[in-house]
A and B are shown apart, each in its own frame.
Chain A
Amino acid sequence: MVTKPESKFTRRGVLRTLAAGTGAIAATSALPGLSGFAQAQSSAPIKIGFQVHRTGIGAAYGRWYNRTTEAAVKRINDMGGINGRPVELVAEDDGTDPKRGAEVVEKFATQHGCDIAFGTLFSHVVYGSAPRAGELKLPYFVVSEGHHVASGKLNRYTLQPGITDVKSQVQAMAPFVADNLGKKVTMIFPDFAFGHDHRDFFTAAIEAQGGQVVESIAIPPTETSFSKYFPRIPRETEVIYHVMVGPAVLTFVKELGEFFGPNSPEIFGFIDSLEAVDIKSPGLEFLEGTYFWEGNPRNAQADQSSHDKAYRAAVGVDDNGASTDDAQDVSTYSHMFGCWETLNIIKRGMETAGYQGPADRAKLIEAVEAMSDMPLSDDHPQGAKRFNGKTHQTFGHQYISKVTDGKLVVEHTTSIDDGLYEDEVDYTTQSF
């Protein structure tokens, strides 16, 4: 016969232990130094509303933006938080949809009581959300690439301090394209704000180099098959310039290869067309010898900095740019560093401003606007940057890589000065 063993715990005993434990935890958190976070005026966490593309066409970016952001927050908290307070992420899915983006920003401000909003990538979501952030007076730190911030179309509450914009990127690289690949260019780009930035600014930049865009092919961002667009590429084309985003990027690049077969013009792509895609996927062999813009080199280079090494390890990315847990899970390495760097800038801004709570939001923005040079460091593993407080836009280095034996090898690094342009706005003159 099996007898039921008698429990060693009585209800009252358990309650007493729990009460004692709670008291002990409460006591330690009240003692400075013991809790891990030095006592500030408030020890409540700083809440960062993280607008993330978990679903919709930006999901692959969202997954990696999430991992990078969590790694950066962990590092900041391990170092003692911001102003002695821990950082807490409040993540909300915006569905890569401008309308939901604005709703999410509103939730951060009114429902979650976030200090700031942060993180989004797709330019149409930024466009949709920024006006609401301005109305709610919620600092909105975007990690997008569109020229929307620096163009002055948004407002003083929107900043892009951790990643360069398209205008700067294409201007810095146009000389390389014109000098090394050719002067007659056909552009293929997505038919929304981000793609139009490419069209407008690269056309201007290549003309400044004595080149010419012979055809511009705009493709709807939700398109799933591309062969029917390629016949519009004129035969005189010397260089194909491609930048595609969304879930169908692998199909896009594959069909580009199928279209040209063995006789292709020079190909210069933005790595956006291959973000989260393994370059060794079947059908992509034709990319060997072609060039890519990279925001941050996906493959660890021969001269890899200690900062890139530390950052890679913290985010869990191997030397090929894939997850250390799953070699098939390729990262969006050229963009996601922006999350890491932006969070470090937010930390520095809050510390400079002595940020205590939502009443100090304007002080935070002024502190960030006052920033200028950001040296290469563990806080800025992609490279040195120069922030322009008037336009709320940062400037930095761009990398041009050549596909060599299935790896992206950096051929040319542009200087910060290559990407500078005249200010189009002065946000600091706008009132809060």
Chain B
Amino acid sequence: MDFGPHLLLASLEGAVTAAILALTAMGLSIVFGVMRVVNVAHGEFYMLGAVIAWWVTSLIGGHPAIGFILALGIAPLVVGLLAATADKLILQKINYDPDRTIVATIGLLYIIQQTTLMTFGPDARPVQPPFNTRLALPWFEYGENGFAMFWPWGLSITSYKLFVIIAAIGILTALWLVITRSKIGLIMRATQLDSETALAFGVPVERVYMWVFGLGAGLAAVGAVLVVPIQQAHYLMGHDPLLLAFITVIIGGLGSLPGTVIAAILIGMSDGIISVFFSPTLAKIIATLVVAMVLAFRPQGLLGRSAH
């Protein structure tokens, strides 16, 4: 394929990866930002979102869109509630001690993964997209007769993949509005800045933590519901998103929301473009190298604030 159309296709694929990654990493980032908890089980909440989406859509008959819309509502809610419960039952009991939360969330990772294996089974299961038209994309080239439009071989995207990109932008904008403009956001930010003072001013810090943990997991689940019609639900699907989400939040700056979005776009796009032109393994190598560089020269990340 010619260079131009090839690059466009790579960018579109990269944009889909970036959109899902932004949602997943945002969940991880919010949880760390507000609670200072490194949630190793984040990838499993993502996986759970996809599995619940499969379960909802397989129960509902009729047009695939009905099941999909229901899944988009139910899966994040269930996953969020589950995470909030886990926070109350486990993380609160160990006082959010940094070392113990890592061990506890590793335990949670295995509990969720093995429970899914025992109930949902080891197979990959597909979810039908609500709509999925192949859109061939044109390309312009300057030739003998001036600019001419042509339709390169293989240059296309599906309407559903475009929807994923737009939906992710919409959800992230809504999240940003909630955090910066609403009272809930104010309470979250107050807890993040200084939880003891917030407690003194009557902010129910424990309950805020519980719902923030739920919100983080819910965001991962939203990403998974969006991605499951493109991929499939599988009990081992949480590994890669967890790794990429960690890379993203480290580069963006743990707890920094704009940093997370910028890093997600960087990682997603570079993953798409490097995978297409070179190899997917090289894309992962470069991402890991960038993490090492960031940790060495700017440990707080691109937009993160340095520790006090």
A residues with CB within 8 A of B: 54-57, 59-60, 62-63, 218-220, 222-225, 227-233, 235, 247-248, 250-251, 258-261, 263, 276, 281-283
Q: Bound complex: CA of A62 vs CA of B122, how far in Å?
A: 10
Q: Which residues from chain B contact A258 at a C-beta distance below 8 Å?
A: 134, 156, 158
Is B240 part of the contact surface with A, judged by Cβ < 8 Å? yes
Q: A227-B9, A258-B156, A259-B154 are in contact. List 12 more A-B contacts (CB 8 A).
A: A219-B280, A222-B239, A225-B231, A227-B13, A228-B10, A229-B275, A231-B1, A235-B153, A248-B232, A261-B136, A281-B126, A283-B132
Closest chain B residue, CB of each to CB of A55: B122
Number of A-B residue pairs, CB cutoff 8 Å, is 87
Q: Which residues from chain B contact A251 at a C-beta distance below 8 Å?
A: 126, 230-232
Does B276 contact A247, Cβ atoms closer than 8 Å?
Answer: no
A-B contact pairs, 20 of them (CB 8 A): A55-B122, A59-B123, A60-B122, A222-B236, A222-B239, A225-B13, A225-B17, A225-B230, A225-B231, A228-B10, A228-B280, A229-B276, A229-B280, A231-B9, A231-B276, A232-B276, A233-B1, A250-B126, A250-B232, A261-B136
Q: A229-B276, A233-B154, A259-B154 are in contact. Are A56 and B122 (CB under 8 A)?
A: yes
Does B232 contact A261, Cβ atoms closer than 8 Å?
Answer: no
Q: Which residues from chain B contact A63 at a C-beta distance below 8 Å?
A: 122-123
Q: Which residues from chain A contact B279 at a C-beta distance below 8 Å?
A: 218
Q: Bound complex: CA of A281 vs CA of B232, how far in Å?
A: 13
Q: Bound complex: CA of A224 vs CA of B237, how far in Å?
A: 8
Contact indicator per residue, chain B 141-185, by CB within 8 Å of chain A (1) or not (0): 000000000000110101000000000000000000000000000
Q: Which residues from chain A contact B156 at a C-beta distance below 8 Å?
A: 258-259, 261
Does A228 contact B276, Cβ atoms closer than 8 Å?
Answer: yes
Is B76 part of the contact surface with A, judged by Cβ < 8 Å? no
Q: Bound complex: CA of A281 vs CA of B229, how far in Å?
A: 13
Give which listed residue, A56, A228, A232, A263, contacts B153 with CB less than 8 A.
A263
Q: Which residues from chain B contact A260 at a C-beta distance below 8 Å?
A: 154
Q: A55-B117, A229-B275, A283-B132 are in contact. Are A248 and B231 (CB under 8 A)?
A: yes
Q: Bound complex: CA of A250 vs CA of B125, how far in Å?
A: 9
Is B197 part of the contact surface with A, judged by Cβ < 8 Å? no
Q: Bound complex: CA of A187 vs CA of B142, how far in Å?
A: 33
User: Sorted from nearest, which 10 A-B pairs have the closest CB atoms?
Assistant: A59-B122, A247-B124, A228-B13, A224-B231, A228-B275, A55-B122, A247-B234, A231-B1, A228-B276, A231-B6
Does A60 contact B10, Cβ atoms closer than 8 Å?
Answer: no
Closest chain A residue, CB of each to CB of B128: A282
Q: Which residues from chain A contact B154 at a C-beta distance below 8 Å?
A: 230-231, 233, 259-261
For B122, B123, B236, the residue with the greatest tally of chain A CB atoms inside 10 Å of its CB is: B122
Q: Which residues from chain B contact A225 at a C-beta distance below 8 Å?
A: 13, 17, 230-231
Does B1 contact A247, Cβ atoms closer than 8 Å?
Answer: no
For B153, B239, B240, B279, the residue with the greatest tally of chain A CB atoms inside 10 Å of its CB is: B153
Q: Bound complex: CA of A76 vs CA of B83, how far in Å?
A: 51
Contact indicator per residue, chain B 229-261, by CB within 8 Å of chain A (1) or not (0): 011101011011000000000000000000000
Is B115 part of the contact surface with A, judged by Cβ < 8 Å? no
A311 vs chain B, min Cβ distance (A): 24
Q: Which residues from chain B contact A220 at a C-beta distance below 8 Å?
A: 280-281
Q: Which residues from chain A contact B117 at a C-beta distance below 8 Å?
A: 55
Q: Bound complex: CA of A232 vs CA of B273, how far in Å?
A: 12
Closest chain B residue, CB of each to CB of A235: B153
B260 vs chain A, min Cβ distance (A): 21
B119 vs chain A, min Cβ distance (A): 13
Q: Which residues from chain B contact A223 at a C-beta distance below 8 Å?
A: 280
Q: Bound complex: CA of A274 vs CA of B189, how far in Å?
A: 50
Closest chain B residue, CB of each to CB of A237: B153
Is B272 part of the contact surface with A, judged by Cβ < 8 Å? yes
Q: Which residues from chain B contact A283 at a C-beta distance below 8 Å?
A: 132
Please provide the chain B residues from 2 to 59 with a CB less than 8 Å away from any CB of chain A in the complex. 6, 9-10, 13-14, 17
Does B272 contact A228, Cβ atoms closer than 8 Å?
Answer: yes
B116 vs chain A, min Cβ distance (A): 11
B55 vs chain A, min Cβ distance (A): 15
B11 vs chain A, min Cβ distance (A): 10
Q: Which residues from chain B contact A232 at a C-beta distance below 8 Å?
A: 276
Q: A55-B122, A258-B134 are in contact. Are A224 and B240 (CB under 8 A)?
A: yes
B110 vs chain A, min Cβ distance (A): 13
Q: Which residues from chain A contact B13 at a C-beta distance below 8 Å?
A: 225, 227-228
Q: Bound complex: CA of A235 vs CA of B1, how far in Å?
A: 6
Q: Bound complex: CA of A247 vs CA of B124, how far in Å?
A: 5
Q: Bound complex: CA of A219 vs CA of B13, how far in Å?
A: 16
Q: Which residues from chain A contact B231 at a C-beta distance below 8 Å?
A: 224-225, 248, 251
Q: Which residues from chain A contact B237 at a C-beta distance below 8 Å?
A: 224
